Structure 1
């Protein structure tokens, strides 16, 4: 499904509940780019507000806007259109569906941004949709569909996922009792354009996280303005893998947009928290962890031979220094690419040769990364979503005529060529913490690609007013039904959690623990 070479180092990983992601441990531009392209390469390091359509937000007369008010007015046979004069470039198409979870209100539709169209699912809470919180969920990648997050499972007979249902074969879908909509209303969104059932009319694309954030923030505002029962409801933004880069920026955009909403006489979004599962947020703090996870008993016994570990240990300081100088401190496309090649050959290539699953080093890859991403069920899901009757039920636009693909090579490549993975999104986490937005960083302990060691180092390195208090807190165990299930550290609004026995995709490796974690987080309870 993905091409792999030494320069781009595309390594397939997975997003929450199975929305498979594309992630590489070392970032750099294609070697076809010359040093003369540095100005363009640096554009994504500008403040988020400078990377957008500046006229996306427009003043309006409140008397010109009539909200739909209630989801009961949404039709099932055709799309209902939602607009808001504050966002003249955006509209939302939504229709009621009996797809997936017949026990709750289920809706699908599109966020239309001129000629770009982003597909979404919305499921109401099974518990109390009129009072429960709202969760926004996005896939990882960049370039992978949140549709897989609804359906994927590790094993066709067990292990459930985050979404309300799961695909057990190309012909069958079953109910998931451990879905997060047991506790909350939840969105799943295929973004950016070109991902899953999302499409563009004329080849338009989005290739940076700040660009994508503008579309998401506008959609959230339009939805909440139209459906007043959700106004003021606690809103949580969640994602996994590359979501470690998406979510901090998306949440910051929603937070900053609130000022404009208030000025326009609209209700601000009650952004309560971010939730990042097995995120690759900061490449630099993740570098040394690749050695640790292979050569030290961090979750399983060492998987590398001694000679390889010694060579890796000796190469690591040079890798970190070269990466820092050429890819971070002063971007040099040629130097950064050379650092990529060196770091990959010394740190990641030895892992590739082991045959272990990069998303769960307690087991070997089932199939190949290129063919099955180590999870053969992905093929069943794609086949299921290619069925005409399923597409009609889901509400996929007939304009989308291609085969469903869990992840888009084109979108992933566009993000990497724009150096989006070098964007320092951990700074956004720190800024959100300073503003009282809670952050949950949860990690399956058996993951390699976005592992718990690197994530813990990232949380400890965050520069915010509670940094010393957080670092002073020891890791302690947390339990589910009296059983020890992992480690956690909390100080103020920041919480770090590991889940034993889980890999990159906690919600289906450990579905019960995942739902319990989310339940406690939403309620503000201690782990």
Structure 2
């Protein structure tokens, strides 16, 4: 076990880069060089929300360390720095330790977020020119982004999406279907929800500058009504009750990062409070939530950019809808040159240590992986499997049926 301050020296780089095309904005990051080889790919991990800091993943999922109950740190044997040089970023500005001296300035769409990330990465690679030649991957978790922009300017190698909200019209429609299949609502309640789906679809079609918030309110009502019908369920695992604001207890992240000695070591202002998720950022981005961002992806596939969509398959109202049903539907419906071949491709077993750990459908640059016995946070629930997924996908060996 380590004292909390000791991780500062092992976080090879942490601090801020200024964003030249914003109003005095500074974006905070952690960067961990590969434990094995500095020629490993550079990976940027982007937690969504929008407005949730990437430290959640860094300490509870795939970062080099885990936080113990007494706030000391232990090595994560399955950290993704085993196979990559990985960056964790607090984005958009206003998230985590990222801030602007003009507090009225918040990004309100993915285009603005993409611009800031491009500027951040430009500054990052200026400071670390020895990593420019490495392959470059983006991991979006419960998040979408104008990745085409980053590809054109940074030479993107691959994109992975976990819990991505890409096509609202398709994904909201999946809520009642899963709720009925899981028997947390009745047939009569399902019929009521289907009427709400019709209203949602109509509102999304009319989504414009003045109506997207209306569409969001109408469509979110579907999720809210399911919860009201089902009672106090944990929407990340419907077999459990929800406890706490996120149905998980992540308070240790906030406790650790709000320690004055930790902020001082990281170069963070003493008066800047760390919150895991920012309501202000979330609300500022709300209008952009209902826009269909799946339309940006086919161009990436046609350029040969690898795309991995992955999810856990335990009883999660959020993830089974957004990923296993909702994302599966938009992935199959997405129009690109390999659409038909992908739909006809066989589902194969993904084996780790001799056991079937996931199922995989893939064709060309597109892969859809369903991880067994995992919930919302796949690397937290299945660390060994997720590390194998990560390594094999980047190494072009995801399709292997056998264990590596």
The two structures have a TM-score, normalised by structure 2, of 0.89
> What TM-score does the superposition give when structure 1 sets the normalisation length?
0.69
* Alignment match, 1:38: none
Structure 1 position 187, deviation (Å): 0.3
Q: Paired residue for 1:498?
A: 370
Equivalent residue of 1:117, what SS? strand
Q: Structure 1 unaligned segments of length 5 or more: list them.
A: 1-96, 153-160, 259-268, 297-301
Q: Secondary structure of 2:107's partner?
A: coil
| 1:405 is aligned to 2:296 | no
Q: Which has the larger radius of gyration?
A: 1
Which residue of structure 1 aligns with residue 86 of structure 2? 186
Separation of aligned partners in 1, 2:380 and 2:340: 34
Look up the match of 1:488.
360
**What do the CA deviations read for 1:401-450 (whole angstroms, capped 9, x no partner)?**
1321100011111111xx11122111111221111111000011123214
Shift of the 101–512 alpha-carbon distance from structure 1 to 2, 3 Å rule, reads farther
Match of 2:402 in 1: none
- Change beyond 3 A, Cα 1:339–1:198: closer
Please give the alpha-carbon distance, in whole angstroms, between the structure 2 residues aligned to 1:234 and 1:363: 41
- Per mean C-alpha deviation after superposition, the further-off stretch among 279-288 and 404-413 is 279-288
Q: Does 1:120 align with 2:34?
A: no
User: Structure 1 residue 252 and structure 2 residue 139: aligned?
Assistant: no
Alignment-derived partner of residue 295 in structure 2: 427
Query: Aligned ranges for residues 25-424 of structure 1 at < 5 Å?
Result: 99-100=6-7, 106-113=12-19, 114-129=23-38, 131-152=39-60, 161-169=61-69, 171-203=71-103, 204-241=105-142, 243=143, 245-246=144-145, 249=146, 251-256=147-152, 258=153, 269-296=154-181, 302-304=182-184, 308-329=185-206, 331=208, 337=214, 340-341=217-218, 343-352=219-228, 353-365=230-242, 367-368=243-244, 370=245, 373-376=246-249, 378-396=250-268, 398=269, 401-416=271-286, 419-424=287-292
Q: Is the 8 A contact 1:276 1:440 kept in 2?
A: yes
Say if 1:185 and 1:345 are closer, same or farther in 2 by CA, change over 3 A.
closer
Q: Distance in 1 between matches of 2:298 and 2:194?
A: 26
Q: C-alpha distance in 1, partners of 2:386/2:378?
A: 6
Q: Quote the offset at 1:322 in angstroms.
A: 2.2
- RCO (CA 8 Å, sep 6+): is it higher in 1 or 2? 1
User: What is the alpha-carbon distance in structure 2 between the residues aligned to residue 177 and residue 476 of structure 1?
Assistant: 27
Output the CA distance in 2 between the equivalents of 1:122 and 1:347: 36
Count of residue correspondences: 387
- What is the deviation of 1:180? 0.5
Q: Which residue of 2 aligns with 1:64?
A: none
Contact 1:290 1:348 in 2 (8 A): no
- C-alpha distance in 2, partners of 1:125/1:112? 25
Shift in Å, 1:345: 4.6
> 1:100 aligns to what SS in structure 2?
helix
| CA distance in structure 1 between the aligned counterparts of 2:197 and 2:109, rounded to whole angstroms | 25
Look up the SS of the partner of 2:240 in the other structure: strand
1:248-285 Cα offsets, whole Å, 9 max, x none, are x1x211123x2xxxxxxxxxx33100011122222222
Secondary structure at the counterpart of residue 363 of structure 1: coil
How far apart are the structure 2 equivalents of 1:392 and 1:335? 41
Match of 1:474 among 346, 349, 353: 346
Write out per-residue CA displacement over residues 195-249 of structure 1, whole angstroms, 9 at most, x where no aligned residue: 10111112122121110101111222333244332122110000211x2x13xx1
**Shift of residue 392 of structure 1?**
1.8
Gaps of 5+ in 2: 400-404
Displacement of 1:169: 2.7
Residue matched to 1:27: none
Task: State the distance in 2 between where 1:520 and 1:466 align.
Answer: 22
